[in-house]
Chain A
Amino acid sequence: MRHLILSLALSLWALPLAAFETEELVQFPAENETVELRVISTADTELFAPFITAFQAQNPGISISYYVVSSSEIMVALAEEGAPFDLAISSAMDLQVKLSNDGLAQPFSSDQTQALPPWARWHDQVFAFTQEPATIVLSRAAFEGLPLPRTRQELIALLRDNPDRFAGRIGTYDVRSSGLGYLFATQDGRTSETFWRLAEVMGGLQTQLYCCSSDMIEDVAAGRIAVAYNVLGSYAQAREDLHDAIYIIAPEDFTTVMLRTVLIPDSAEYPVEAGRFIDHLIQSSWLGADGAFAYPGITPDGLSGNASLRPITLGPGLLVYLDRLKRRQFLREWEAAMVQPE
C-alpha cells in the first residue's frame, strides 16, 4: 500500500514535467556555458536557427535549449504547469496576449522595444518581431489549364466549378488542435462572410485537416492535395526547393497578417538574458536587410504598401475568441461547415 502511494506521488510529481507535448528539442550548446536559456516556441527549428546562432555569436556563454511545440502546448506548459521557460515565441497571438493579460509574462523595456510601433507591442510584455501573411498555396500541376484564383471568391468559384478535380484534395488547418489555425480562421470569419462560404464549399469537398503549415506545403508540392488554405506564407517562401511545384497566393480581397510574438514568462530564470534575446530578435527583424533571416521583418512600408494586408491587432480583442462559449460556438459552426459527412 505504502509503495503504491509513493509511486503515485512520484508519478504525480513527474507528471507536470512531461505533460506538455514537445515535438522537438534542439540544444544549441555554448562553450564555457554560464546561462542556459530555455526557449519554448512554435517556429520550426530550421527557420529559427539563424536567429539563435547569430545571438550566440554576439553573446558567448549562453546555451539555448529550443523546444518546438504547438501553440496550444505553450499555454499548457506555462499556464497550467508553470514550467520554467525564459522565452515563449508563438504565432498564436491570441494565446500570447492571454498569457500577458493573465499575468503570466514579465514586463520588459529597452531602447529596441520602445522603438517598436505601438501596434507591435502590448503591455510592454508581448513584442512582435515578424509579420507573416496567411496565404493560399496551390499545386502547379493541379492548376494546369485553370486560371489562378486571386481572391477567395475566385477560389470558391473554381472549387464549385471543378468538384471532381478538387474533391479530397483541399487542405487547411484543423482549428480544433492548431492555435494558429484557430487564430486565422476566427480572424477570417471576423473580417468577411466569404470565409464561411468558402468553408461550406471546402467542407463539401472533403477537406483534409492538418496540424501544421509545413505538412500542407509538402503535401501540395508532392501533389497529394491541390489547394492549401491559410498556409503561413513565410514557410512557403522559405521552401525554395518546392517553388517549382507550388504557387503562393496572397488573397487580394484581404490577407490576414499574423505577427509572430515573443514574451518572457514569469517563470523565467534568466530574464536579463531573455531580454537581450528579444532585443536581438527585434533588431534582426528591423534591420534584416541582409536576407539572412527567414521571417520578413516589421517595416512601416510592409504594411502601408499593400491595402489588402490586414494585420491582426495585438490587444484584448484577441481574448474574445478564447472565451469558452465563444470557442465552442465557433468550433460548432466550423465543424458543421468543414466536416461534412460524405
Chain B
Amino acid sequence: MRLAFGTRPSIRRRLTLQLLTSAAILAVVLFLIVSSFARQIGAESQDRILSASVASILDAVSVASGEVTVDIPYSAFTMLDNANDDRVFYRILQDGAVLTGYDDLPETTPGFATLPYRNETLRVVTATRRLSVDGAPIEIAVTVGQTRDAQAETLQRISRMAVYLGLGFFAASAVLAVLAGQVTAGSLRRLAGSVSRRGPQDLRPVEAEMPSEMQPLVRSLNSLIARLSTALNRTEDFIAEAAHRVRTPLATVRAHAENTLRRVDKEENRHSLREMIRAIDESSRAAGQLLDHAMVALRADHLELEPVDLNALTGELVDRLRPVAELKDMDIRFDEGQTGAIMGDAILIQNAVRNLLDNAIKYAPSETQIKVSTDIDGAVVRLTIRDEGIGFPQADATPLTGRFARGENASGVVGSGLGLTIADEVARAHGGHLEMHNNCGGPGACVTLSFPLR
C-alpha cells in the first residue's frame, strides 16, 4: 500500500496486527502446554496402573516349603486391559535369575523406564521385595511392561482437541483484536469528527468524551484553540481600534476639505478637492465597515437574542437612508409584507440591512428605484432588496461574501468589499442565509436576506 508523505500505517491496523500476533503466540503456547500436560497425565496414569499391577503381583509372592511361588492374580493383568488392547509383558526375578515370565525383557532397575522391546516401545515398572527362604534373604523383582498405543491415542485425541482449543482461542482473540482496533480508531475518529464538524467561527474548546490516553491531545488541542481565539480577538480588536482612530481624523479632514471647496473657485483645484473628498469618503466608509465587521464578528459569537420586528427595523433604516438616496435622485420604496417575530440581535440585523441598502444605493445608477420588500416563505422570513443597477458579474455571487471581495464590474465605485460579508455573517449567525441573484428579469441585483421564523 502506498502511503501519503509523512503518514505512518494506521493505528488500527498496527494495533490489530500486534494483538493478532500475540494471540497467535498465546495459542501456540496454549497448545504446547495442553499437549505436554496431556502427555504427562497419560504417562502418569499408565504408570499408576502398572505400579498397581506390579504391587498386586508382589503381594502374591509366597514361600511354601522352601520354594518361592508366585500366584499372579487374574486382576494383575486384566487391570491393564484397555480399548487399544495394549500388549503386556512381565518378568519375575529371584536374585537376578528368571523365575517366570518373559526372560528376554531388557534389564531394568526398580522404578519406571521406557524401553524398546520386540519392535515396540514399552513402558515398564519394576519393584522389588525381600523375602526369607530357610533363613536366607532373597530378593524378588517384578517387572510389568505395557505398550503405549492407548496412551498415544489419548495423546493424539487431546492434541487434536488442543489444536481446536488453540484455533478457537485465536479466532476469538482475532475478533476481539479487530474490535479493539476499531474502538481505539473510533475514539480518534470521534475527536477528528467533533473538530472538523464545527463551523468556521466556532472556537469553543473540544468537550467530547475521550479516553484518558487522549486527554493530553484534547488538552493541547483546546489550548491551541484558546490561543488561536485570543490571537483572532486581538487582531479584530486591533482592526476596530485602528479603524476608529482613523475615522475621527478623517471626518476632520473631510470638513476642512469641504470648507476649502466652497472657498476655491479655480476649476482645477475644485476637481482635486472633490477627488480628495471622494477618497476620504472611501476611507471613512471602509473604516466604518471594518468596525461593523469587527462588531458583527464579536456579537455573532455571543448572540443576544430578543424578538425583533423586521418591518419596523427596515422601515426606520429606509427612512434614514432616503436622504442619501435622494442625493443620487434615487427612490427607495418599501413594501411591508407580513412578517412574524424573529429572534435575533437587533443591532446585527440592522447592520446587515444597512450594508445591503448602502450597497444598493452605491452600485445602482442615479434616477433608478430600489425596491425593498418583506414576506414569509414557509418557516422563513425574507427581506429582499432589488435595484436596477449593474447586478452581479456572474450567476453565482457567493464568492462576493468573502472579505474584501469585490465584483469585477464594481471598479469606479467607492467600496471596501465588506458589505456582503457582514450581511452574510449576520444571516449565518442567526441560522439563516444570504442569497444573491441578478434581478429577476431586469439587469439589477436581487439580494435576499432570510431568517428562520421562531
Interface residues of A (CB under 8 A from B): 100-103, 118, 122-124, 190, 313, 315-317, 319-321, 323-326, 329
Contacts and interface: CB of A to CB of B under 8 A. Distances in A.
Contacts of B71: 325-326, 329
Nearest to A122: B85
Contacts of A103: 87, 118-120
A315 B81 contact: yes
Interface in B351-377: none
A329 B61 CA distance: 13
A326 B76 CA distance: 13
A325 B78 contact: no
Given A123-B87, A325-B69, A316 B77 contact: yes
Contact of B83 (A100, A118, A321, A326): A118
Contacts of B86: 316
B100 A325 contact: yes
A323 B85 contact: no
Interface in B59-94: 69-78, 80-81, 83, 85-89, 92
B131 interface: no
A interface, over-half SS: helix
Contacts of A326: 70-72, 100
B118 to A, nearest CB: 5
A267 to B, nearest CB: 16
B119 A101 contact: no
A333 to B, nearest CB: 10
A325 B90 CA distance: 13
B203 interface: no
Contacts of A325: 69-72, 92, 99-100
Given A103-B119, A323-B101, A190 B74 contact: yes
Contact of A320 (B77, B119, B120): B77
A206 B219 CA distance: 112
Contacts of A321: 74
A341 to B, nearest CB: 21
Residue with the greatest number of chain B CB neighbours at <10 A, chosen from A190, A321, A329: A329
A101 B99 contact: no
A325 B74 CA distance: 13
Given A325-B70, A329-B69, A317 B81 contact: yes
Contact of A316 (B73, B81, B100, B120): B81
A329 B118 CA distance: 29
A325 B73 CA distance: 12
26 contacts: A101-B87, A101-B88, A102-B118, A103-B87, A103-B119, A118-B83, A122-B85, A124-B85, A315-B78, A315-B85, A316-B77, A316-B80, A316-B87, A317-B77, A317-B78, A320-B73, A320-B76, A320-B77, A323-B72, A323-B100, A325-B69, A325-B70, A325-B71, A325-B99, A325-B100, A329-B69
B101 A316 contact: no
B85 A320 contact: no
Give 4 nearest A-B pairs by CB, closest first: A317-B78, A123-B85, A316-B88, A315-B81
B88 A319 contact: yes
B151 to A, nearest CB: 15
A276 B86 CA distance: 25
Contacts of A315: 77-78, 81, 85
A109 B87 CA distance: 18
Contact of B100 (A101, A118, A324): A324
B115 to A, nearest CB: 15
Interface in B378-421: none
A231 to B, nearest CB: 24
Contacts of A101: 87-89
A93 B333 CA distance: 127
Interface in B91-111: 92, 99-101
A152 B85 CA distance: 34
A313 B72 CA distance: 17
Contacts of B83: 118
A316 B119 CA distance: 19
Nearest to B102: A102
A315 B85 CA distance: 7
B70 A317 contact: no
B74 A320 contact: yes
B150 to A, nearest CB: 11
A55 B119 CA distance: 34
Nearest to B117: A103
A316 B78 contact: yes
Nearest to B89: A101
A117 to B, nearest CB: 12
A190 B76 CA distance: 13
Contacts of B118: 102-103
Contacts of B76: 320
A190 B78 CA distance: 13
Nearest to B84: A123
Nearest to B64: A329
Contacts of B88: 101, 316, 319
Interface string B110-126: 00000000111000000
A325 B99 CA distance: 8
A329 B72 CA distance: 11
A118 B118 CA distance: 25
A323 B72 CA distance: 8
Contacts of A324: 100-101
A308 to B, nearest CB: 20
Nearest to A187: B74
A103 B122 CA distance: 13
B50 to A, nearest CB: 12
Contacts of B73: 320
B138 to A, nearest CB: 15
B72 A320 contact: yes
Nearest to A315: B81
B160 to A, nearest CB: 20
A316 B145 CA distance: 12
Interface string B129-166: 00000000000000000000000000000000000000
A118 B82 CA distance: 10
Residue with the greatest number of chain B CB neighbours at <10 A, chosen from A118, A122, A316, A325: A316
B87 to A, nearest CB: 5
Contacts of A329: 69, 71
Nearest to B99: A325
A103 B86 CA distance: 12
Contacts of B89: 101
Nearest to A118: B83
A101 B117 CA distance: 12
A102 to B, nearest CB: 8
A326 B57 CA distance: 11
A316 B150 CA distance: 14
A146 to B, nearest CB: 36
A28 B393 CA distance: 120
A124 B120 CA distance: 16
A103 B118 CA distance: 7
Nearest to B81: A315
Interface string B284-325: 000000000000000000000000000000000000000000
Nearest to B83: A118
Contacts of B74: 190, 317, 320-321
A326 B72 CA distance: 7
